[in-house]
Chains A and B, each alone.
Chain A
Amino acid sequence: MSLALSTLLYEWRRYMAAVMALALSGLLVLAMTGVFIGIGKGFTAQIERSRADIMVLQPGAKNIMSGPSGVPRRFIPLVYNHNEVVEVQPLDGAGGSFQSVRNVDPTQSQADRARAGAPKMNYVQTRIIDTTPDAVTIPVDYSQQLVDALRQPYTVAVDETDLPKLGVRLGEKALYNGQTVTLVGVTRGYPNMMQPTVIMSRDTLRMVGQADTGPRVGPLMVKLSDPARAEAVARELNSMGAGQWRAWTRDELAEANAAGMFEEGILVIIIGGCVVLGTIIGVAITWQTLRGAIMANIKEFASLRALGVGMGSLRRIVMELSFWVGLVGVAAAIFLTWLVQLLAAANAVIISLPPMLLIIVGGGLVAIAMLSGLLSLGVLKNSQPADLLR
């Protein structure tokens, strides 16, 4: 084990401030970015966890949320032309008002109801599934019972995290756009921080009058006979479409959806601000901690100088030390973020941490540590062996 690593492990308390500064800088950026990606995931979770291996969007679409995403209905049979395609269903959804009818007295005014603490009317977004067995639109973690329950007309499901907000319980009735629906299912793991989501069957959506029945439909969800071939089939579908559409694999689209969040100007400002603040705080504290730690061992460094070890070698020791401090900081940042993620998940807030984000932030933290190391090289000038002679 090298001198730098042994020193870090043995005198870890001395380096704790630097590690914590890096960890907290990392946490700041990871958590903020993760929350925003999480917000995006709240809208797309149902699609990303569907059985669709490929999705077909308009050619200009950058992701599922920034259109144009709908396609002409005639694309459905065109996509079926590929012999590995098993099922094609258009994505459909809508939105509307949702009002719990528990303890509602229709003669009361809005003000009276609010005073009594009755559930308020909420605007919800609606997503659909097809209730045919193993339909491409059904998320993989939906139970058969949930699908069976939603097959009944005028039934809906919501996520458990939306229950208090919507003021409904399993089995109760509510008004969706003024029409009575029954809550027959509660999902877990589909929180949406921005807007509650209601799941219903495509048939129920049609019955409430919101289904796409015209010549245009939503993005196409495509199931393949062999999901492992998704990339190849997507390529083939794209050449078959000759520019009319673009076929995305599910993973490709999920990444584009997450990245799409960052085209919002305000998010770039918030996260950019966190990055700048995190870097300044990280560098300042890590630099000062490293300086102090090197000063604490300055006599030992000076004795190495006396024995003829050059300044360059001592600088390399300091840089190596900074690198290890950075690496430990990355581990601590990821651990802290994971804890915050658990805490957030318990409160229905999703912090999404794609590997790419961890790699970028981790690399940034190591760079901060190395920069701090560079800044603290100056103190090595104090390693004057002549000072050891008295």
Chain B
Amino acid sequence: MMTTKVHGKHGDFAIEAKGLVKRFKSGKSFVEVLKKVDFDARHGDLTMVMGPSGSGKSTLIAALSGLLRPEAGRVDTLDVDDLWKLSSGRIDKFRLDHCGFIFQGFNLFPALSALQQVEVVLKFQGLSKADAKRQATIALEEVGLGHRLHQRPSALSGGEKQRVAIARALAKEPQILFADEPTSALDGENGQVVIRLLRRAATEHGAAVICVTHDPRLEAWADRVIHIEDGVIIDDQRRTPNLDATLASH
């Protein structure tokens, strides 16, 4: 039996998946989106999953994070053996305790200020009001929004909204951070801010950051780049990230 460690140190496995298969019904036939994919990600790494649209990269992180049940294969993550054997309530709890999520759309509640967006999640985690506020403030300051705590999304720019979403994901101090096309709705300058924050989550917080993107310019920041096409991993390289890379606006 394969086991993984909790609170992994840099380099320890955070997720190991074996033989993931996912099919979708398309008319009368099935389309196989993941074809026996093996995948792993380590703490402290910014792992980039790249591929054209429809390659199965988003389906992969949905299966890894407990959002979309695969037809076959297993996911061992942190101290959990076979995530998909847990009840859906336990999977939710696992995500609440250990996972952060960043989406292409920012998905912020229009009624809440930046501070409240982050607090809401922390309160669900069981933090007291005061602790949630303190931790949320720290998270927002870390993404450079210390001066925008009380703005609602309507008063924030796209880049600022994504930073709120990142703060919301990071405030929980997740060991695994999933990001799905986090920069594709942003201009070059804001995209750079966001990828640097993801880089820092890996380097400084030791999180396993798994970032799905089709933007090749982000590769420069990655420790590892995985290419996926038609549901199969075709390429898996380790590389040395260039922390001073720039993401020019295009």
Contact = CB atoms under 8 A, between A and B. Distances in A.
A304 interface: yes
Contacts of A66: none
A257 to B, nearest CB: 48
A112 interface: no
B20 to A, nearest CB: 14
A308 interface: yes
B101 A385 contact: yes
A306 interface: yes
A309 B212 CA distance: 23
A6 B92 CA distance: 25
Q: Among A9, A309, A311, find the residue whose CB has the most chain B CB atoms closer than 10 A.
A: A309
A308 B103 contact: no
B95 A303 contact: no
Given A307-B99, A308-B93, A385-B101, A10 B111 contact: yes
Interface stretch (A18-26, A43-51, A76-84, A294-302): A294-302
Contact of A3 (B58, B61, B112, B181): B112
B172 interface: yes
Interface string B69-113: 000000000000000000001001111110111011101111110
Nearest to A9: B111
Interface stretch (B3-11, B37-45, B116-124, B141-149): B116-124
Nearest to B57: A389
A74 interface: no
A325 to B, nearest CB: 14
Given A307-B96, A388-B103, A389-B67, A7 B109 contact: yes
A303 B103 contact: yes
B160 interface: no
Interface footprint category on A: 20 to 34
B224 interface: no
Contacts of B96: 307-310
Contacts of A11: 110-111
Given A10-B152, A313-B124, A388 B105 contact: yes
A297 B109 contact: yes
B219 interface: no
Contacts of A388: 103, 105, 107, 180
Nearest to A1: B116
Contacts of A7: 109-112
B110 A299 contact: no
Q: Among B97, B104, B124, B169, find the residue whose CB has the most chain A CB atoms closer than 10 A.
A: B124
Interface in A1-38: 1, 3, 6-7, 9-11
A307 B105 contact: no
A309 B124 CA distance: 7
B62 interface: yes
Given A307-B172, A386-B62, A6 B116 contact: yes
A381 interface: no
A305 interface: yes
A115 interface: no
A294 to B, nearest CB: 12
B112 to A, nearest CB: 6
Given A311-B92, A385-B62, 18 more contacts: A3-B111, A3-B120, A6-B116, A9-B111, A10-B110, A304-B121, A307-B96, A308-B124, A310-B92, A313-B124, A386-B62, A388-B103, A388-B180, A389-B59, A389-B61, A389-B103, A389-B180, A390-B104
28 contacts: A3-B120, A6-B109, A9-B111, A11-B110, A11-B111, A299-B107, A300-B109, A304-B120, A306-B101, A306-B103, A307-B96, A307-B99, A307-B121, A308-B92, A308-B96, A308-B97, A308-B99, A308-B124, A309-B96, A309-B124, A310-B92, A310-B96, A313-B124, A388-B103, A388-B107, A388-B180, A390-B58, A390-B181
